[in-house]
Structure 1
């Protein structure tokens, strides 16, 4: 090397710095690649992505190759810089020290910080072209890389670390939720809410979304036929449970289209009503929502009664209720949550916690009581009087309306 012209030494030093920059930047770029976008590009047969994906199947070999090349060019650059310093200023130790310090600064700025920062900002721009170089380079240096890997893996096994042949990255529900939430610029708000609703299906049961027992609108067969006909004509629903005295004694479901014509006949009686009934479906209250959607689909049902472990009816759930968990409210009830001029909200205390959280983007706990009324009573351990103000899990509210049995209407004082 001492016999080489000084100009050639400078050119070799510059080449070593460029190669060092390439190894450092490409390493960061390949490791910064979004694995899920990479798999998508592979499916689209992007050649650079395909090669990068193949390299990342064995990251230990890729890292060994990159570090082998980086160490080699950095040592070569150090040797060349030392020769240049000696040729210019003699064999003084201070000259060699200054040359080493200057080279360290140059390498740090031009071969480490700059390329790695660029790689972190635009990983694909560097990773895909680099993959074309690394694939043949890995084949050429395979014996050396393999020996380095075997030694490194042996050392890792000695400390209890097993290097798996393939690493499969998976995302849990909360990580998927974060991805969907952060993709606001790519996913319209309505679709974003639908995706979040789908992610919530796993943890929700029919008990979370059912119409409570005391709000079920049904037909009591013990009533006079005139009252039953009047109920059918004024019903806000198309499917009604039919029972005897108590909702626990359901005999079937009535689809109004099956009797609307018949009720105008003079001979219409309870037996004709019974003949139009559909066999009732009963759903355990712990049934996950996604399972019930599948069950409704298989059995071609649209409505069912929710029962507890003792067989007592706790509520009613429809296919519309299940779908609302995914697509949101099918029909908006303005009286459920109503914004006031001062920024506060009047809320019907019968609303479910899940629905309130979804409408207001709040984080009230859903593990215990299912309704706002139940949550307030559990929190206070009594039924509060009108005018009572509390801070419910960080949300200040005032009881506007209540009776001896339940809270009816509350006012959330500020928007959190």
Structure 2
């Protein structure tokens, strides 16, 4: 054959190999979620791609048969077509015993480079740009090619399956989606501008409900406002006016003797009807939902849904009340400042780009969000920033006590009766970190 005929045949082989490479990457990289959307919209080709992905052994066997056959044939033809011309060219400068080897090497390099560039690299990069679109476009011709290669592919697959069983290799594809997978998709969506910053934050918080315990979002014991059975009318009126809560605990004599709760609107109705409001009885006291402090926020949501309640008392293993929590508290955890009343005091106050004033009772998850910290040390041992300080210091903190973690310095600012009220958190500059490390070594 002439040089032109050889070039045409090699071009056809490169095009065939390129098509197989393009198809292989597109079918492997096509995402099931997008394919299902196309299939539900009525695109039959998308369903064919899903079916092929579910049983891909025949396709990959046929693809490898085609790619290897084309590469070998292209090498044979290319070597025979180009070697004489390279030999003639090399002979002008060198006519020794290595002339044949040099011309063969040049011919081999040329053909291999053409196949790598046009039959492998470029098709695969193109396939990664829009794998679903390409997979749907090529599914019909590739199914014909699979049928043609079926006999030989069956033999190859049988041998491969035998070897897999012999070495106990599990070939079942795991399509389970983890939180890390979803998180990665959300991060990509946020970077691409599909998700707004607050939407990304909401979705992350929803997934955190499974990990955060009830104490991280509850109103703590010392901040719970409650009525006793002997509460005076003036005291009840004063608490209703001072604390704009919709529900109040009712206790016998102290907070650990919970009887139930009253709804503020029931008391207001009694006031409007000129009835005494200090006579708390069965008509006004409702049964309160009692939950352990070990529940996650996700589990509490299930309890609220099953009991039709929106208010619960949290107790510890010693049957002592540690706080109360409402459905609104969980919503605030998810949506943050978007549903937090404006008049409510913020737990985290950003002073500047490198410092924050944070209350000791702030849940550690909120601190991590504010400071963009991925992980805290031994996080299972505490739930609040105050707990973190006590855990690291191994004592009851006092003002000016500090803890250095990563690039942050946590300093106790105010302590009230052993309770850490406020901390100053400062982001350390690199030179400060180096100084601290040098002091630690000395």
- Normalising by structure 2, we get a TM-score of 0.84
Shift of the 415–30 alpha-carbon distance from structure 1 to 2, 3 Å rule, reads farther
Partner of 1:292 in structure 2? 300
**Contact kept in structure 2, 1:213 and 1:315, CA below 8 Å:** yes
Which deviates more, 259-268 or 198-207?
A: 259-268
1:182 pairs with 2:188: yes
- Summarize the alignment of residues 233-248 of structure 1 with structure 2, pairs less than 5 Å apart: 233-248=241-256
**Contact kept in structure 2, 1:30 and 1:52, CA below 8 Å:** yes
1:104 pairs with 2:115: no
- Summarize the alignment of residues 220-369 of structure 1 with structure 2, pairs less than 5 Å apart: 220-263=228-271, 268=276, 270-272=278-280, 275-329=283-337, 330-331=339-340, 332=342, 333-341=344-352, 343-363=354-374, 365=376, 366-369=379-382
> CA offset at residue 122 of structure 1?
3.8
**Contact kept in structure 2, 1:398 and 1:411, CA below 8 Å:** yes
- Normalising by structure 1, we get a TM-score of 0.89
> CA offset at residue 377 of structure 1?
1.7
SS in 2 for 1:314: strand
- Summarize the alignment of residues 95-244 of structure 1 with structure 2, pairs less than 5 Å apart: 95-96=103-104, 98-164=106-172, 167-184=173-190, 185-244=193-252
**Contact kept in structure 2, 1:383 and 1:404, CA below 8 Å:** no
- Structure 1 residue runs without a partner (length 5+): none
- Structure 2 residue runs without a partner (length 5+): 89-98, 430-442
Partner of 1:76 in structure 2? 73
Partner of 2:400 in structure 1? 387
- Matches of 2:43 and 2:251, distance apart in 1: 64
Shift of the 90–249 alpha-carbon distance from structure 1 to 2, 3 Å rule, reads closer
SS in 1 for 2:257: strand
Partner of 1:38 in structure 2? 35
Shift of the 395–59 alpha-carbon distance from structure 1 to 2, 3 Å rule, reads same
Shift of the 381–163 alpha-carbon distance from structure 1 to 2, 3 Å rule, reads closer
Partner of 1:27 in structure 2? 24
Q: What is the RMSD of the two structures over their aligned residues, measured on CA atoms?
A: 2.7
> CA offset at residue 24 of structure 1?
2.2
Shift of the 175–90 alpha-carbon distance from structure 1 to 2, 3 Å rule, reads closer
Pick the aligned partner of 1:10 from 3, 7, 10.
7
CA offsets 1:116-169 (integer angstroms, 9 cap, x no match): 2322334345433322211122123222211111111112222221333xx341
- Matches of 1:398 and 1:344, distance apart in 2: 11
CA offsets 1:180-214 (integer angstroms, 9 cap, x no match): 12310111222212211121122222233221111
**Contact kept in structure 2, 1:51 and 1:131, CA below 8 Å:** yes
SS in 2 for 1:413: strand
Which deviates more, 4-13 or 244-253?
A: 4-13
Partner of 1:67 in structure 2? 64
SS in 1 for 2:324: strand
**Contact kept in structure 1, 2:411 and 2:425, CA below 8 Å:** yes
CA offsets 1:207-254 (integer angstroms, 9 cap, x no match): 332211111111122343432333233332110001122111111101
**Contact kept in structure 2, 1:193 and 1:328, CA below 8 Å:** no
- Matches of 1:219 and 1:110, distance apart in 2: 80
- Matches of 2:128 and 2:241, distance apart in 1: 67
Shift of the 168–160 alpha-carbon distance from structure 1 to 2, 3 Å rule, reads closer
**Contact kept in structure 2, 1:379 and 1:392, CA below 8 Å:** no
